[in-house]
Amino acid sequence: MENFVKHCIDNGGIIKPLIIPAEITNGTGLFNPSILNDNGTLLVNVRHCQYTLYHSELNNYEHPWGPLLYLNPDDDRTLRTTNYIGILDDNMVLDNIRRVDTTSLDKEPLWEFVGLEDGRLVKWDGKYYLTGVRRDVDHIGTGRMELSEIDIQRDKVTEVKRSRIPAPPPDRSYCEKNWMPILDRPFQYIKWSNPVEVVEANIKEENNIQCKTLYHGTFDNSPKIKDIRGASQVIPYKDGYLAVQHLTVLYRSKTDRKNGTYRHQLTYWDKDWNVIKRSPIFSFMGAKIEFCCGMCEHKGYYYITFGYQDNAAYVVKVPEKVLGDFINGK
């Protein structure tokens, strides 16, 4: 499906942009938001970077670097992520926006991608976290998942603890990212989507954090989903779990640079991580770069948050029946 959002709107859904005033962000990129239902309050995290991403979608113009060009006002190669927490009100407007203050834990970055990227909001054991990838701790950009504990107050949000999570042994990969936190299983993630691999981090062992595999499924070689990867959190759904996952279709630009088109799919598992249903593969609004970092249920609707072209953040509100029918291919 090339326009999931239109399908939702045609069937009673609503879409709204997630806006942070330009005087805060300098009008640069907002994208890849995450949403969490915190006992009836909808918390939203929005990722901000200090660049604007230029797109040549129709290939009318292609920069020597390819169809994408980062326009960075800092005139350097550094891409800095800042996260903002807000509350989504009843009109789907982002209110009480606060920058996540990380200054007490920040260190001099050692690589050009700075900050916690694509943070998913979770609440485990009564504490709030953003969990995503960080790549600025060494000189080659090695990516590992990070769990950032945040203290959310009415007038401020402060990072109070930062834990870097190794992959289960032998932990040799260059970049680990897009692990999907399982909301009702503290410190557990779907690390890999095909085959399903569920892991758990022993965060309480502060000086010796390890990660172990709890479940490892079998590989599905179906062409359309063999390379499926993580996106949103994993949320309880009926008698199992539900998540948005993503797929990347790689291609070469006119200048032979690697590029990709992002598509998504809803996956419904039982409690033992057997796949019950996969939705049709879809685009949110037909763009090449779209990415989902959040989903929650609230008052009979499912709220799904996604980034558009690394320049805009959106939330779509989907009636429960519409989502269920879509998962079932109706």
pLDDT tens digits along 203-246: 888 778 999 999 999 998 888 888 899 999 999 999 999 999 99
Q: Tens digits of per-residue pLDDT, 57-101?
A: 555 555 555 556 667 777 677 889 999 999 999 999 999 999 999
> What DSSP string describes 180-212?
EEBTTSTTEEEEEETTEEEEEE-TT-TTS--EE
For residue 47, is pLDDT > 60? yes
Q: How far apart are CA 280 and CA 302, in angstroms?
A: 17
Please, which pLDDT band fits residue 165 given cuts at 50, 70 and 90? very high
Average pLDDT (312-318) is 97
The torsion of the CA quartet 69, 130, 312, 260, rounded to 10 degrees, works out to 50
Q: Are 45 and 121 in contact (CB under 8 A)?
A: yes
Closest CA relative to residue 136, chosen from 55, 81, 63, 59: 81
* Bridge-based pairing state of the strands 196-201 and 188-193: antiparallel
Q: Are 57 and 287 in contact (CB under 8 A)?
A: yes
Please, which pLDDT band fits residue 129 given cuts at 50, 70 and 90? very high
Domain that holds residue 88: 4-327
The residues facing 83 across adjacent strands are 47
Please, which pLDDT band fits residue 254 given cuts at 50, 70 and 90? low
Q: Amino acid identity, residue 218?
A: T
Sheet of strand 211-216: strand arrangement: 180-181, 188-193, 196-201, 211-216
CATH number, domain containing residue 68: 2.115.10.20
Domain count, the chain: 1
Q: Are 136 and 111 in contact (CB under 8 A)?
A: yes
pLDDT score for 316? 98
Q: Over the chain, what is the mean pLDDT?
A: 92
Q: Are 325 and 52 in contact (CB under 8 A)?
A: no
Q: How far apart are CA 45 and CA 30, in angstroms?
A: 10
User: Scanning the structure block, which residue is given the tokens 């320049």?
Assistant: 311
Element (H, E) at 322: helix 320-327
Closest CA relative to residue 82, chosen from 121, 38, 36, 31: 31
Q: How far apart are CA 265 and CA 252, in angstroms?
A: 24
Closest CA relative to residue 34, chosen from 303, 255, 245: 303
